[in-house]
Amino acid sequence: MSSRGRQLWMPGALAIALCALAAAAIDHQAFKETPLSDCASCHRTSGVTENHGPRFGQEHRLLAQKAGNNCGACHQQSYCDDCHRGGSVGDIQKGLSRRGEPMPHPSTYVSFHAIDARSDPRSCKRCHESQNFCSDCHEKEIQQNRQGMDIRPHAPTFIAPGVPDPNWVSFHSADAKRNLQTCQGCHPQKTDCSNFQCHPGLGGR
């Protein structure tokens, strides 16, 4: 922080002067050491709104995914990995997971992570790619009979022996149509379906 703290108070005139020299320059290499607070002084007259605002952490993906983006003019790739891939060469002032992994969430995030997981279903996946990330904790908790840990119960329910609940049938059908690959994650064989009475005609392996 100490070096960054000093950078914060570099004179804004420097940034303005560099802007003037650069004119319509796209390469921001010259501004690498300029504090973010000075960016506005150039951008407000350049016709391109500064983009590193307070929610840039949530917004940056669209810019980062552009071909030929200029993120690399200031940031090394480790800057991405230190949030997205559990790196920590640049900053140790982050939360710690139960495995000691540095993470951008607070250490108490396990308490309410399910709320965020529901709020933006794809956002978790941007960093946590493997299903083991969930099951590593959840399966242990399920084994200890903790309620609410089986994320989505979907075993068949019956209204009478041999008669499945129509509500379950509807749910099961829609789910299978929506994303059969999801089902196949746990039930990879066709016999997982055809062995039951429901789909005797499926045949095959």
Partner 1 sequence: MRHSRAIALIAAAAALPSPLRAADFQVTSSTQILGYSDFLSPAEPNQGSVAQYLRLNVVGLDDKNRYNIYGYGRVVGQFTGQILPDGDAYGRLYYLYLDARDVIPDHFDLKLGRTYVPQSAITSTVDGGYVNARNLGLRGLGLTAFGGHKVTYDNLAEVGNADDLAAGGSVYVDLVRRTHLEASYARKWIGGDYAQDFASLDVNTVPFAFLGLTGRAKYDLGESRWAELLAGVSLTPFDPLEIPLVIKGEVIVERPSFDQFSFYRYFGVARYQEFGGALEYEVLEGLRLNARYAYENFAGANDDVDQHANVIEAGASFRRVRNLVVNASFLNRNGFGARLSGLRLNAAYALGKLGLLAGIDYDDFRRDLARTDTSKRYWAGANYEINKNFTVSVHGEDDISYLFTHTLQGVAALVFHL
Near partner 1 in 61-90, by CB under 8 A: 61-69, 76-78, 80-81, 85-89
Q: How many residues in the shown chain lie near partner 1 by CB under 8 A? A: 90
Residue 93 Cβ vs partner 1, minimum distance, rounded to whole Å = 5
Q: What are the b/e assignments for 128-164, b being 16+ CB within 10 Å?
A: eeeeeeeeeeeeeeeeeeeeeeeeeeeeeeeeeeeeb
Interface with partner 1 in residues 116-175 (CB under 8 A): 117-122, 124-126, 128-138, 140-141, 148, 151-152, 170-171, 174-175
Strand pairing class (158-160; 163-164): antiparallel
Q: Which of 20, 73, 110, 202 binds partner 1 (CB under 8 A)?
A: 110
Cα–Cα nearest to 3, from 108, 133, 90, 104: 90
Interface with partner 1 in residues 34-53 (CB under 8 A): 37, 40, 44, 47-49, 53
Q: Is 18 or 86 the residue whose CB approaches partner 1 more closely?
A: 86
Distance in angstroms (rounded) separating the CA atoms of residues 40 and 27: 17
Q: Is 204 in the site for partner 1 (CB under 8 A)?
A: no
